Amino acid sequence: MKGGLTLDPEASQLVTRCWAVVSVHRGSRKRFPETCVEPMPTADAAIAHADPARHRHAAEVMGPSRSSEGLRLYYLVRWLDAT
């Protein structure tokens, strides 16, 4: 289990680890709706597109995963930027 998300080795193509820019105020939240997450091809691309002054932070995330409410969520693995 990683951040409240149980991974099934048989379904690894459904939920994946990826780099992203997450548009949120940084805090204690560990999961984000897909509307706040912009997947990026590499960690360097995520860092380049981040803008902490506009609350856009580079991160490593896992997802998307469907919540019990029917939302598609991404789970924070770690922040990439220093702020």
pLDDT tens sequence across 21-74:
999 988 878 999 999 999 999 999 999 999 999 999 999 999 999 888 888 999
pLDDT-based confidence at residue 15 (cuts at 50, 70, 90): confident
Domains in the chain: boundaries: 15-66+73-79
- What is the reported pTM? 0.79
**Three-state secondary structure of the chain:** CECCECCCHHHCCCCEEEEEEEECCCCCCCEEEHHHEEEECCHHHHHHHCEHHHCEEEEEEEEEEECCCCCEEEEEEEECCCC
Q: Are 37 and 22 in contact (CB under 8 A)?
A: yes
